[in-house]
Structure 1
Amino acid sequence: MKSNGQAGLSANDNATATGTPRTPWNAFATPLIGKCVRLAARLTHHGGSAFPGKVIEGIDPGFLARTLSRLPYGVVLVSGTNGKTTTTRMVASMFAQLGLKVFTNPTGSNFTRGVVSALLQQVSIAGHLNADIAVLELDEAYAVHFVKQVRPRYALLLNVMRDQLDRFGEIDNTARLLGHVAAATDGTVVLNREDPRIAKLAELVPDGTKVQYFGLSDDLRSFFPTDDDMHAADMRDTDDADTTAAESVAPADSATVSAVSAAPSATATDGSAAAATPTPISTNPLPADVTLTAVGDHTAEFLIDGTVRSTGVKLEGIYNLYNAAAALAVVRAAMIDATAMESSKLAKPAARRRIERFANAGTDDLINAVAQVTPAFGRGESIDVNGTRVELLLVKNPMGFRMSLKSFDPAGHDTMIVINDQYADGRDMSWLWDVDFTGLRGTGVRMVSGVRAWDMALRLEYDQVPVGKVEQDIDTAVDAFVKANPGTPKRIYCTYTSMLKVRAHLGHLTKVSDAGVGR
């Protein structure tokens, strides 16, 4: 295996998975104990969604590996700084649309114990998991622990950005963590070719494991800047250079994006029909299995097998269209493997039929599947509160916040920002000073809330953004915000724990779909 100086991982430094652990004598009781703990946690509102997993990890450490090792299609592991939850939802939804039974961790509880908790919800009392494949979102650091127990069959590695520096350290350390995942995957590793640190991880992939890429056409590169692009712009010497560079790497507004979709180089614009692309669309030497070639208002075009295909999408935000390219790439990798799988070896006829249906799916089926994916909870999720649309947008690092602000026009909306600094959010909130809030000057921010509400209000003041009110108590703030200006759409930007709090309180005001939080 090749070494990778940039990722800081060598062949002798791999985090390799152990074999399936021996079943302990008391393993028969693990599912029952876990379900009882989960029920108790729900009734007492204690411990959070990952608490049952923490208990089971203590009494039966092999439960996770033992259960997942029985899946005929193994595990798809999704990780990276931005987009994990939405991309995991895309991949899981597409597999299900194409006929497979899928186990996933839908709450965004992306630690190993969160996966165990999700398993406890799904397994039978006998410990059987009724699924063909698992699609799991893992935090970059906890992914290393996961692959020591379970070798993924597929790994989808999205990007590395400066995020929660108090946890991960500098960005190269985050790449090193993801390098452990690449080195432990035994089927196919799917990498973002536009992120140089992610693409470099191909050097760590073991012999026998395939590497595939997803990417962008050249004319879209400036809409999806890498971490290096963003910080290069920030380091310009003069204010004018700062402004010019920021515009050159910032995602476009909806008008600009629509213009790209209509440009001749963007090719097909005739709905689901396919059109041959006459000229190369990317100068990147790495071959992409799926390339995003055009984006519009809830539309996207992808180059697959030399043909550009258009589709509508239900996802919010142009950044999620690139996540869709990533999801398409990993599902295609599994489809290719399915054609070689001997389904006759599966004991149950129903399982054989599902595998055969999946293996026989075509690219049109794949595109139709991605068109059906809806936003993950708290990631562009829209909730109706007494006739007012309230949209939740998770923000957790400079790039994610910048992309959200650029993707959603504040005009005609009331805006609220909720910032907490708990462990899952990252304790260090200094990253807020790397976000450009000037786009909110015209509309202002009606409400600021959360533990770090006053820090956020100060940051907005420096960007000359008017703030209507600061209220640290989230429940009180949400009540006031939602009731003001009835009928005016609301948009709430929030960090992870504040998003859970906001969403839970909205559940007292209206019907909110159960995403599994606290179940």
Structure 2
Amino acid sequence: MAGNSDPLTPRAKLAVTAGKAVAAASRAAGRGSGSVIGGRVALKLDPDLLGRLAQNLDVVLVSATNGKTTTTRLIAEALRAAGPVVSNALGANMPAGITSALAGGSEAKFGVIEVDEKYLAGVARDTDPKCIALLNLSRDQLDRAAETRMLAENWREGLAGSKAVIVANCDDPLVVWAASSSPNVIWVAAGQMWQEDAWSCPSCGGVMQRPGDDWFCGECGFRRPTPTWALSGDHVLDPHGSAWPIHLQLPGRANKANAASSAAVAAVFGVPPQVALERMYQVQAVAGRYDVVQFQDRDLRLLLAKNPAGWLETFSLIDPPPAPVILSVNARSADGTDTSWLWDVDYTRLTGHPIFVIGDRKLDLAVRLEVANQHFQVCDNLDQAVQMCPPGRIEVIANYTAFQDLRRRVGN
């Protein structure tokens, strides 16, 4: 680890103190955790604060379109076997939120940081990470994020020559292209259920060939690298070929993939797969995701799905028909205001489920379900939807701000 025992200058200490005071005031006023506003104030007072706070930490950055928050939690849990961890566990993943999180971890050895895709290159420059985990890239927030290949190019340029160990998903061609500029990459076969953003070669624009689990470009020869770690059913295969069972309370194939990448990251810091995977069992829910809550004498399971890739993975988790499903979609600035992505989601996978539709953009979603020949009812709010649901556990799937609305309503 670099630096002396106290890398903070008087100015940096003032910035941290002011940021914490503003965050506390924001919390007291009922305006959320205050981490973003506190971080903004701190960075205004000391623009180099993020780098100073990271100086005495072994830093891991986690970036992806889907699974960042969960994977960050899994890695943090695994690394606690080797020492104290500071992490932005609530998902405030831009520089202000990250600064705020690190300011609270003066005793930590490791910093495990989720980073928004657009900010990865800058945060990597500021924090000098020892390891960077790249999970996937797919379309998301169409009005805010550049299209996926431009994001991959941003990563590729930002990580070129990085000293960090890059742990990257070899099943996502965009991630492979982004990571290939780095001299030290560990490839993980974590799978890729959603492939609609990777039909053209990110290197030359040619058509990707996808025989079985493999992929390659027939025109320039860009191809899937050979993994040293792999998800295989309910096990993680390590570089020695040993199979380690995955113990998770989180549901679904996507979370097993997150665990495989997390085990590879933990190994970079000397935490063996068996220890890492056993520790991951502690994680029951992540910022409310996967929580089962009681509401109006019913069991509701809260599931977050923010984009087509996330909805596809979520549909694979839900109880079989005729389990009732409530869908909620907003299009506020934090979600992305463009809802055209709804047309990329295969809603025929909900056939046989009674469907109830709520949220700011319930009518947009209703039109999409109509075209998909699904039976659904539009409701005014969660309370009405729950009252109309037939018996059984209710699966509630919502995008970002709709999910926050739901959590507030059910007191979660």
Q: TM-score range by the shorter chain?
A: 0.7 to 0.9
CA distance in 2 between partners of 1:459 and 1:49 (Å): 37
Match 2:383 to one of 472, 479, 483: 479
Structure 1: runs of 5+ lacking an equivalent: 1-21, 124-128, 233-247, 250-283, 295-299, 336-360, 472-476, 513-519
Shift of 1:226: 2.9
Q: Does 1:77 align with 2:55?
A: no
CA distance in 2 between partners of 1:43 and 1:442 (Å): 46
Q: Does 1:94 align with 2:87?
A: no
Which residue number in structure 2 is paired with residue 381 of structure 1? Answer: 291
CA distance in 2 between partners of 1:414 and 1:114 (Å): 36
Match 1:290 to one of 229, 244, 249: 229
Which residue number in structure 2 is paired with residue 194 of structure 1? Answer: 171
Q: Which has the higher contact order (CA 8 A, sep 6+)?
A: 1
CA distance in 2 between partners of 1:366 and 1:439 (Å): 34
Shift of 1:37: 0.6
CA distance in 2 between partners of 1:229 and 1:23 (Å): 44
CA 1:503–1:456: 2 relative to 1, 3 Å: same
Which residue number in structure 2 is paired with residue 9 of structure 1? Answer: none
Q: Does 1:306 align with 2:306?
A: no
Match 1:329 to one of 264, 268, 290: 264
TM-score normalised by the chain length of structure 1: 0.69
Shift of 1:23: 5.9
Match 2:29 to one of 39, 44, 57: 44
Alignment check: 8 A CA contact 2:159 2:182 kept: yes
Which residue number in structure 1 is paired with residue 358 of structure 2? Answer: 449
Q: Does 1:224 align with 2:209?
A: no
SS in 2 for 1:421: coil
CA distance in 1 between partners of 2:99 and 2:333 (Å): 20
Q: Does 1:54 align with 2:40?
A: yes
Amino acid at match of 1:226: Q
Amino acid at match of 1:64: L
Q: Does 1:416 align with 2:399?
A: no
Alignment check: 8 A CA contact 1:414 1:488 kept: yes
Q: Does 1:28 align with 2:13?
A: yes
Shift of 1:141: 0.5
Superposition pairs for residues 302-381 of structure 1, below 5 Å? 302-304=236-238, 305-335=240-270, 362-381=272-291
CA distance in 1 between partners of 2:82 and 2:296 (Å): 37
Match 2:151 to one of 161, 166, 174: 174
CA 1:25–1:363: 2 relative to 1, 3 Å: closer
Alignment check: 8 A CA contact 2:331 2:338 kept: yes
Match 2:379 to one of 453, 466, 470: 470
SS in 2 for 1:424: coil
Which residue number in structure 1 is paired with residue 189 of structure 2? Answer: 215
CA 1:30–1:155: 2 relative to 1, 3 Å: same
The sequence identity of aligned pairs, in percent, is 31
Q: Does 1:110 align with 2:93?
A: yes
Amino acid at match of 2:375: P
Cα displacement string for residues 103-162 of structure 1 (whole angstroms, at most 9, x for unaligned residues): 111111211111123234x25xxxxx1111011110110223312322211000011112
SS in 1 for 2:230: strand
Match 2:113 to one of 112, 125, 136: 136
Greater fraction of residues in helix: 1
Alignment check: 8 A CA contact 2:94 2:116 kept: yes
Match 1:461 to one of 370, 385, 398: 370
Match 1:398 to one of 282, 299, 308: 308
SS in 1 for 2:278: helix
SS in 1 for 2:144: helix
Instruction: Tell me which structure has the larger Cα radius of gyration.
Output: 1
CA distance in 2 between partners of 1:317 and 1:420 (Å): 25
Shift of 1:464: 1.9
CA distance in 2 between partners of 1:105 and 1:43 (Å): 20
Amino acid at match of 1:312: H
Shift of 1:467: 2.1
CA distance in 2 between partners of 1:427 and 1:182 (Å): 30
Over aligned residues, Cα RMSD in angstroms? 2.6
CA distance in 2 between partners of 1:285 and 1:33 (Å): 48
Match 2:129 to one of 148, 152, 176: 152
Which residue number in structure 2 is paired with residue 426 of structure 1? Answer: 336
CA 1:167–1:156: 2 relative to 1, 3 Å: same
SS in 1 for 2:395: strand
